[in-house]
Amino acid sequence: MNQFKPIFTGEEVARWPRAVNSQKCVRVGGKHNDLSDVGLDGYHHTFFEMLGSWSFGDYFKREACQMAWCLLTEGYGISPQHLYVTYFAGDPALGLPPDHECRDIWRQIGVPAERVLPFREANFWEMGPVGPCGPCTELHYDHLQRPGGAAHRVNAGHSDVTELWNLVFIQHQRHEDGSLTSLPERHVDTGMGLERLAAVLQQVPDNYGTDLFTPLFSDIYQTSGAPAYGGRYGAADRTGLDTAYRTLADHARMVTVTLADGAVPPDNHKLRRVLRRALHLCENAFHAPRLLSVLSDRVAEMLGPAFPEFDLQSNNIKAALAAERESWLASVSAAAGERRRCAAELPELLQLSVGPAECLQLVDGLRELRRALPAGERRLDGRLALQLHTQHGMSEEVLQEVALVRGLQLDVEAFQACLAEVRADSRQAAPVSRHLADALLLRRLGLPSTDDAAKYEYTRRASGEYELPSVTARVLAVLCAGGRAAAAAAGQRCSVVLDRTCFYPEGGGQAGDRGVLRWPGGELSVTDTQRCRDFTLHEGTVTAGRLADGQEVRCELDAGWRLGCMRHHTATHLLLAALRHVLTATAQTASASDGRRLRLEVTSYQGAITAQQISECERLVQEWTAAALPISVGSEPLETALRRPQLTLLAGEVYPDPVRLVSVPGVSCEPCCGTHLLSTADLAAFRVTSQRAAGLGVRVLRAVAGPAAQQAERAAARALHAVERLVAGQMSAAEARPLAEEAPYREKMALLGALDTLSDAGKAQQKEQDVALMERQLAALERAETDGRFVVHHFAGRRPYAVPAMRLLKRRRLPTAIVYQSRGVLSVRCAVPAGAQEGGAGALSAADWLADLTGHVQCQWVPVPEPARMAGLDVTSRLSRDDEAQLAELLVQLLRQRAVR
């Protein structure tokens, strides 16, 4: 129901009073989390398809119940004798009485009284701790078709009697304090799982017996060579293989669907968790490393006809699975050794069924359990379990397994009670739209919607100039400080609702328009334009005069801002098209364009986009610009649009029907509500200014077009000239670096590369000079050491780098120690020659000489092949420059004292 929440709250107006849909649902966290049940029963899934019907202030309980019963019993031919219905039993704590109205409707429909059952918690539906909610009624199906009835098994956790359809009557709004208020209108939200319906219609005992899963089981069997799926549950599944079949098939569906919707595992820990569980099963249960890719292809083949994004995202899905498998294998390999090391302290690690990488995440929690559990205690109480859950991420399943291997008894009821208490105490308001209050106010006022057709009514002259619309409108409402005002005076900030406008409200990744509303003797400077229900809000400040309801105003756009928005929005489409040409697998996840620049976020599993690839993208966009291609806008039925082979969709976006399409012939075709140029020639120039990573597989590019890009071109020329002067030694790094910050990405990388090369050469030269100086100083100290005992030297270098002392110390004839200090680096190196064995430091090994230092400063030993002859320590404490110098002198004194003992 998330997509319809604004309608339920009254913030938006429904386009239709009734709707039906099929919706992809993922349940891997939050209030609705089925992950722990997957594979253990026949009807829980991490991904399923929800068949929904909706009423937005139209029909309510009676019609919803009648239509549901009619469809199941007459449309699908399901016997009424095998159906049971439930209704809300009331909740005195909330002041809600039993829903006898619903009960009586079912009885009037003809459902026997003994099959109409009351429940409390199971029959009050809410998405989260706050938001729209209401009582519900459910239809349950008895798979075993018992002639004597199965009313006692409804909502009792039995897989043979399952919920088939839930009808929710959305009529309340829950607030953060737990209280309920009535919504502006009453709505209906129903949901029936496709997988459960298929099990009933195909007359199989559970969802996994349907043709939604059996092709996947066949692929697992044929690819892995494992025994065939046997449909066993619980104790009957002695090897756990059937459970593994079900879990892997479920997870393959969830992973493929989620990747096709544009989710990126590094940014979605729930997706990554399920994906890695699937990889673990492929490797360890079925010994078929590439099995997940095979199953993913099958899922795409099965669901592709209904969801075109599978075909559009095919390359991305394959690239994501390959990248995640490589990442998972690397983490497992690294974690295996670390797990064995930690197991010396925590032997229970080796008994847990989770993988090595997951095991390491539990180390701190297991240590906490050892510290907190009294000696001899055999019970893991709810409070301690809650602490392990909230602070160390241990789920209830992991807690139970930990308790089992430690010989403890987990108090599950107390843990769940503590968890419920925390959730109740931590209820916070859901994010509220900045315009929710305005939307509710406008709804109450009953004003007519804003006619904004003029926002698209701009033309292009033969000269290339754009003529933007300017319209006369009447003020319908002035909103100030969350309420309606009779008028707004000079200096006052407000939002103005007009009967018509030419201003474009923020949407589709494009910023809202700016401009001026003028009237005789006054004006309002519009700094932003927003959409609110069917109204356009012109937000700004009255700069002169007084603006009141009914005032006639002239709407004038800021032409520079609007043209900049149009350029950058069109450039966003062209850049995405170029990236799809240059990269084998990429898809847009987000974008933003305004009058100054654009920002495009894409998924790409090929690592960083190189400067050469950026250059090729720029070349393509500039080529399309030079071709002066016409940009056309049209509308067509959504079903027709989805059949277009070149159509580019934003994964997870909900598109209207009909859908508005923006097309550049031979280049791109995208659903879009924004404003665009009418010819690519009007882009004039285009440059990418930066790109960065926003997580594994996600790249964020920024770019400019038009005058801003022409300015960037001039900065590019200055940067390239700076590269030439740097190489020739005619410019310093300090002079060149500011030019890199101003340049477009390609030239910026060239200049920074030249600066790095120059810096590396300078560092190498400086290091050689330091080494030569150190050599001379040590030789002088040896000559001055007339007793022939030892040398301790404090050397302050000019560059922080690894101390080159080892190769110098090897050539020393006396036991020698160096304390090296330079810009945050403080290190000690020493060597004791094989022949220096009499008196003073000669009787020491090199490691013994440095051992005392570890008691005075935080440091770590440097691995060396012969610790008796050579040793090293690196100080790990963070020190100020003064503290660093003082500590260096202290270390010198300690080394001298130890050498003369």
Stronger pLDDT, 360 or 159, i.e. the higher one = 159
Residue 302 resides in a domain: yes
Domain contains 863: yes
- Regarding whether 111 and 162 lie in a shared domain, the answer is yes
Residues 638 and 568 in one domain: yes
User: Could you tell me which residue, 778 or 460, shows the higher pLDDT?
Assistant: 460
| 507 and 568 in a common domain | no
Mean pLDDT (whole number) for 709-737: 85
Say yes or no: 641 and 684 in one domain: yes
CA–CA dist 429, 427 (Å, integer): 7
Q: What CATH number did the domain enclosing 804 receive? A: 3.10.310
Higher pLDDT, 359 or 270: 270
Are residues 158 and 140 located together in one domain of the fold? yes
Over range 319-325, report the average pLDDT: 88
Residues 703 and 823 in one domain: no
- CATH number at 670 reads 3.30.980.10
845-883 pLDDT, tens per residue? 888 888 888 888 888 888 777 777 888 888 887 777 777
Residues 333 and 391 in one domain: no
**What pLDDT, on a 0 to 100 scale, did the predictor assign at position 229?**
97
Query: What does the pLDDT read at residue 428?
Result: 41
Instruction: For residue range 384-426, list pLDDT tens digits in order.
Output: 888 887 777 677 778 887 887 777 888 888 888 887 776 554 4
Q: Are residues 79 and 140 both part of a single domain?
A: yes
Element (H, E) at 34: none
Question: What percent of the chain has a predicted confidence (pLDDT) above 70?
Answer: 88
Q: Which of 498-512, 530-544, 637-651 has the lowest mean pLDDT?
A: 637-651
| Structural domain ending residue among the three candidates 179, 208, 237 | 208
**Residue 472 maps to a domain:** no
Give the global pTM.
0.68
Number of compact structural domains in the chain:
6
- The answer to the question of residue 772 being in a domain is no
Residue 324: domain span: 211-345
Angle at 705 between CA 699 and CA 706, to 5 degrees: 175
pLDDT of 436 over the 70 cut: no
* Mean pLDDT, residues 690-718: 88
pLDDT of 842? 46
The average pLDDT across 242-250 equals 95
Averaged over 827-833, what is the pLDDT?
A: 86
Write down the mean pLDDT value for the chain: 86
> How sure is the predictor about 191, in pLDDT bands with cuts at 50, 70 and 90?
very high
Q: pLDDT class for 815, splitting at 50, 70, 90?
A: confident
Domain C-terminal end among 208, 232, 252: 208
Q: Is residue 880 part of a domain?
A: yes
Judge whether 589 and 509 are in contact, CB under 8 Å: no
In the predicted structure, residue 432 carries a pLDDT above the cut 50: no
Q: Residue 569 annotated as binding? A: yes
Is the model's pLDDT at 140 over the cut of 90?
yes
Residue 678, φ and ψ in degrees, nearest 5? -100, -10
pLDDT range class, residue 489, cuts 50, 70, 90: very high
Pair (250, 269) in one structural domain: yes
Phi/psi-derived region of residue 155, left when phi > 0, alpha when psi is between -120 and 50, beta in every other case: left
Annotated binding residue 581 = no
The pLDDT tens digits of the residues spanning 789-812 come to 788 888 876 654 444 556 667 677
User: Please, are residues 849 and 830 in contact by the beta-carbon 8 Å criterion?
Assistant: yes
For the record, the structure tokens of 717 come out as 């020329």
Asked if residue 287 belongs to a known ligand binding site, the reply is no
* CA atoms of 549 and 478, how far apart (whole Å): 7
Decide if 712 contacts 605 (C-beta within 8 A): no
Angle in degrees, CA 892, 894, 895, rounded to 5: 65
Flag whether 175 is in a domain: yes
- Domain co-membership, 196 together with 250: no
848 falls within a domain:
yes
Neighbours of 252 (CB within 10 A): 29
Question: Could you say which of 694, 713, 732 is where a domain stops?
Answer: 713
Same domain, 7 and 140: yes
Phi, psi at 704, each rounded to 5°: -135, 155
Go through the chain and tell me how many residues it has.
901
Greater pLDDT, 402 or 136: 136
Does residue 226 carry a pLDDT above 80?
A: yes
Hey, which bits of 27-78 come out as E strands? Answer: 28-29, 32-33, 47-56
Q: What is the mean pLDDT of residues 427-453?
A: 70
Based on the domain organization, do 159 and 22 belong to the same domain?
A: yes
User: Residues 275-284, buried b or exposed e (16+ Cβ, 10 A)?
Assistant: bbbbbbbbbe
Q: How would residue 431 be classed by pLDDT, with cut points 50, 70 and 90?
A: very low
Helix ranges (DSSP H) in 435-558: 436-445
Alpha helices in 453-532 (DSSP H): none
Q: Supply the pLDDT for residue 613.
A: 93
- What is the predicted pLDDT for the residue at 837? 47
CATH number at residue 486: 2.40.30
User: What are the pLDDT digits (tens) for 549-603?
Assistant: 999 999 999 999 999 999 999 999 999 999 989 986 677 888 999 999 999 998 8
